[in-house]
Amino acid sequence: MFFLLDKGGRTGELTAVREEMLTAHAPAEHRVVAVPDPPRDRDPDDYEAEVRRWHRARVDALHTAITANLAPGETGGFLVWGDPALYDSTLRILAQLADDADGGVTIEVVPGVTSASALTAAHGIVAHGIGEPVLTTTGRRLAQTPDGADLNQIVMLDSHLAFRETAAPDDIVHWGAYVGTDHQILVSGRVADVTDEIVASRAAARERHGWVMDIYLLQRAR
Ligand SMILES: C[S@@+](CC[C@H](N)C(=O)[O-])C[C@H]1O[C@@H](n2cnc3c(N)ncnc32)[C@H](O)[C@@H]1O
């Protein structure tokens, strides 16, 4: 039994991708239950409190779906985009569900390919100079990266392309949208040379598909 959190609307394409994968790889007798994702305020006054409220609503929605569809001893699966260790609440939700079930639920994680790895593979690059660290962060946090920690940054969840505010003209950006899919777009170069192209590609792609997921590696000029 696979549970899909369905965000509805035009991101239904993401649900379709998951269903195709299940058709291709899961045992024929598998079943799928789409669970409507509870609505979320994307621009709340208190971001952390809204995320906590939303997580609780998701736990409750999944709890209802699991109770209705899964008998004791059966296994439920959750397909996670990329790897669940990065910017994904599935494991927090399942931990909460397991907590509520008081030991009656066991969780096993199968590792996935994160979009960070998909990005560097698509560009055919190493994410850092020899022995250097890499910071993974979000667009919301990019401006808070301390000097010295910003040599190599992988930036996710950035609909505003925040590097336009933080990067120097000679810094290098390796950007990718829909990485690993048929719609993949890649752009890389000096910030001064490619920013306009990234902004335009992102806007056009979003218009075309109704949604966009993009990620970039930002490297300080050496
Ligand atoms: C909620 S996070 C989930 C990350 C995911 N767990 C992972 O391991 O990649 C969503 C963000 O991941 C990035 N992302 C996920 N899939 C992507 C893809 N195929 N192409 C580009 N960026 C992607 C984008 O930055 C997007 O805003």
Q: In terms of DSSP H, where are the helices of 112-190?
A: 115-123, 163-166
The verdict on the CB of residue 157 being under 6 Å from ligand 1 is yes
Q: Does residue 6 surpass a pLDDT of 80? A: no
Across the chain, where does the E strand assignment appear? 2-6, 32-36, 77-78, 135-138, 152-156, 172-177, 185-190, 214-219
Average pLDDT value over all residues in the chain: 92
Rounded mean pLDDT, 16-34: 88
Closest CA to 220 of 133, 99, 93: 133
Q: Does residue 10 surpass a pLDDT of 90? A: no
Phi and psi angles of residue 190, each rounded to the nearest 5 degrees, phi first: -65, 140
The verdict on the CB of residue 105 being under 6 Å from ligand 1 is no
Supply the residue whose CA is at minimum distance from atom 21 of ligand 1.
214
- Angle of CA points 155, 112, 48, to nearest 5°: 50
**CA 5, chain centre distance (Å):** 14
The region that residue 162 occupies, defined by phi over 0 for left and psi between -120 and 50 for alpha, beta otherwise, is: alpha
pLDDT in tens, 77-118: 998 889 999 999 899 989 998 888 887 889 999 999 999 999
Question: Hey, what are 105's tokens?
Answer: 């639920």
Question: Hey, what are 47's tokens?
Answer: 């971001």
Question: If you measure from the C-alpha of residue 155 to the centroid of ligand 1, how many angstroms do you get, rounded to a whole number?
Answer: 10
C-beta separation of 6 from 39 below 8 A: no
pLDDT in tens, 51-87: 889 989 999 999 899 989 998 888 999 988 899 999 9
Q: Does residue 13 surpass a pLDDT of 90? A: no
The verdict on the CB of residue 139 being under 6 Å from ligand 1 is no
pLDDT for the residue 40: 86
Rounded mean pLDDT, 163-175: 98
The verdict on the CB of residue 88 being under 6 Å from ligand 1 is yes
pLDDT for the residue 9: 60
Q: How many other CB atoms sit within 10 Å of the CB of residue 162?
A: 20
Rounded mean pLDDT, 14-27: 86
Q: Does residue 25 surpass a pLDDT of 60? A: yes
Query: How many angstroms separate the CA atoms of 161 and 155, rounded?
Result: 9
Q: Are strands 2-6 and 32-36 parallel, antiparallel or unpaired?
A: parallel
Question: Hey, what are 179's tokens?
Answer: 């990485």
Question: Hey, what are 199's tokens?
Answer: 């902004």
Set out the domains of the chain in order of their start, with CATH numbers: 2-101 (3.40.1010.10), 115-219 (3.30.950.10)
The SS3 assignment for 100 reads: helix
pLDDT for the residue 5: 78
The verdict on the CB of residue 86 being under 6 Å from ligand 1 is yes
The verdict on the CB of residue 114 being under 6 Å from ligand 1 is yes
CA-181 nearest atom, ligand 1: 19
Question: If you measure from the C-alpha of residue 214 to the centroid of ligand 1, how many angstroms do you get, rounded to a whole number?
Answer: 7
Q: How many other CB atoms sit within 10 Å of the CB of residue 130?
A: 5
Supply the residue whose CA is at minimum distance from atom 10 of ligand 1.
157
